[in-house]
Structure formats: structure tokens, C-alpha cells
Amino acid sequence: MSDPSQTPSVPRPELFDFHGVQMVHAFTDNWENIQNFKARPDDILIATYPKAGTTWVSYILDLLYFGQSDPERQTSIPIYRRVPFLDISVTHSEEELNYTGVDLANELPTSPRLLKTHYPVQFVPKSFFEQNCKMVYVARNAKDNMVSYYHFERMTQVQPEPGEWKNYFQRFLDGKMNYGSWYDHVNGWWQRKNTYSNIHYMFFEDLSENTDREITKLCRFLGLTVTPEIRRQVTGQVQFDTMKNNKMANYSTLNSKDMMDFRVSPFMRKGKVGDWKNHFTVEQNEKFDQDYEQKMKDPNLQFRTLI
């Protein structure tokens, strides 16, 4: 007999072509309102391909801006409420799961507002550019990004059914993913910074290698003066194990298997560079590398798959 607790209560969404990008409806349903979103000049947009380190950088920025002035925030407001996910629109019988990212963003009392998106750069509402907003783009090497996305799709009903790893692997190479091709995403944002200077393009692997150094660079970009002591504190608070055990960061407060089922995989899974080695076969790795060479032509955009 099947275990009813394992039976999904909502069907998995299908991918469809949306302005040339594969998407699922939860991130396109509120399109008009998203496109008409009125950014403020001090808004900070945190942009990533899914599973590239959004929550990590969101938490860092939140601590840098509000960690000292509002310590209560750190124990009472989950990260997805502090840094609204602009793209999303969910309808659900539970009130906690019935909202749009735009509404959450418009209700934010903070200044600056920290906002999250996974959109490819061409989907970002134009007001962010018109207002010359600062944007932090986090990129993660494709191999680890793929593995992380696979485990995420296994555990969240909001994403398409991932199926078997070997088919998922091919789907990723073909760009048949929610938010489209990783290759187009990282390249699109990389190129955009040539014409829009307020983008700080950073890498998951660098953050993993030296968090303190990357926070220093972030502060420089954001124009924040932070003492070495506070920087050290923030670095400590955003270590993987600390964030994994922090209810405000690990998404455990969502507490609904319709959204995320932690029995399948935790949100804070491994947080490592190089976990792809535990998933890729030798053959897959060779195929991946050949395909990568064809798709990633810009010599200035270099990723590390090991540190």
C-alpha cells in the first residue's frame, strides 16, 4: 500500500515557453504586476539562477543592513519575508502560502528594501534600471547548481517533477528548466553589467572559499562601512551549519509539504562546492564538459567546480 504522507496533494506544474524562457506558472502568473513594480532608488535586488546561493547572500545583506539596529528581526522574521521573492505568486488554503511577492515587497517597512528574483536579466522590471538600483547577482558553477536544483525539485511541489537523475542531467543541458537555461542566465547577467554598472557579479565558490573577503567586496559595492568586528560576526552567522540550524534561514517555518517536503531533502542540503562529484558519472562529466565548451564562449566568465 502506498504511504499517503508521500502522496503529493497538489499536482506538479508543467514547463511552458514564456517569452522564450521555460517557466512554470507560479512565477509568471503575476507578470503584469511584476513588470509594473515601482522600484525605489535604494532598493537592492538579489538575483540568481535558482539554487545559486540566494538565501546565503540574502541573509548576509539582511545582517549587514539590519543586524545591529533590529536584533529582534533576527529571531522573528523568516528570510523569505524579509527579502520577498518578487516573481512568485501562490494561492493556497493556508494563509501563510497565499501571497504574491509584489504584495510582500510593497508591504515591506524597511529601507532599503532587499528583494529577490530568479528572473533572467531581460525579465527584470524596468523600474529597477530606471532607478539605477543596486543589483547583486550570485552565480554558481553549473555542475553543483544542477545537483542542488535536482534535490530541490525532488522536495518542492512548486517545481516540475525532476524524474530520474540521468534524464534530469540532459534536461539541464537542454535548458528545459524552470527559469530556462543556466547558460543563458549567467551569460545574460554577465553581459548586462557591461552596460549597467550597478551590478555586483559574485560567485558561490568565492563566498565558500573566503566569506569575509566576499563580504568586504559586497560592502564596498553597497557603500557600507562595517567594522572588522561586525564583519567577523556576520561571517560567523552565515556559516552553513549555523544557517542550517537557524529557523529564520532554513525555510522550516514554511512547514507545509505542499511547498517543501524536508523529509525528501532539506533546503540547507550540503552547501558544498564539488558535490557534483557524488552525482556525475565519468561519462556524464565528459559529455557535460564538451557541451559546456560549446555554450560558454566568453573567456572572461570563468567558474570553478572545485576549490
The catalytic residue positions are: 118
Per-residue b or e along 215-244, where b marks 16 or more CB atoms closer than 10 Å to that residue's CB: beebbebbeeebeeebbeebbebbeeeebb
Binding residue (CB under 6 A) for ligand PPS from 53, 120, 125, 180: 53
Beta carbon nearer to ligand PPS, 131 or 175:
175
Q: Would you say 238 and 59 are in contact if contact means Cβ atoms under 8 Å apart?
A: yes
- Residue 256: what are its φ and ψ, rounded to 5°? -145, 125
**Which segment (12-20, 49-57, 160-168, 296-304) binds ligand PPS by CB under 6 A?**
49-57
Beta carbon nearer to ligand PPS, 56 or 128:
56
Using CA atoms, how far residue 38 sits from 105, 224, 307, in Å, is 10, 24, 40
Q: Which string of x and - marks every residue 263-292 that binds ligand PPS (by CB under 6 A)?
A: -----xxxx---x-----------------
Applying CB under 6 A, does 261 fall inside the site for ligand PPS? no
86 - beta bridge partners?
A: none
Site size toward ligand PPS (CB under 6 A) is 19
Shortest distance, position 46 Cβ to ligand PPS, whole Å: 9
Cα dihedral 215→220→226→231 (10° resolution): 10
Shortest distance, position 78 Cβ to ligand PPS, whole Å: 13
Binding residue (CB under 6 A) for ligand PPS from 30, 51, 114, 178: 51
Binding residue (CB under 6 A) for ligand PPS from 139, 238, 254, 259: 238
Cα angle: 213, vertex 59, 255; to 5 degrees: 145
Beta carbon nearer to ligand PPS, 30 or 156:
156
Binding residue (CB under 6 A) for ligand PPS from 52, 105, 158, 202: 52
- Percent of residues in the chain assigned helix, strand, coil, to nearest 5: 45, 10, 45
Binding residue (CB under 6 A) for ligand PPS from 240, 262, 292, 303: 240
Output the nine-digit C-alpha cell for 71.
536584533
Binding to ligand PPS in span 142-201, by CB under 6 A:
144, 148, 151
* Distance in angstroms (rounded) separating the CA atoms of residues 151 and 161: 11
Shortest distance, position 206 Cβ to ligand PPS, whole Å: 12
Beta carbon nearer to ligand PPS, 158 or 199:
158
Binding to ligand PPS in span 123-152, by CB under 6 A:
144, 148, 151
The closest residue (CB) to ligand PPS is 271
A 10 A CB-CB count for 6 gives 10
Which residue type occupies 95? E
* Distance in angstroms (rounded) separating the CA atoms of residues 184 and 39: 25
List contacts with ligand PPS (CB under 6 A): 48, 50-56, 144, 148, 151, 238, 240, 243, 268-271, 275
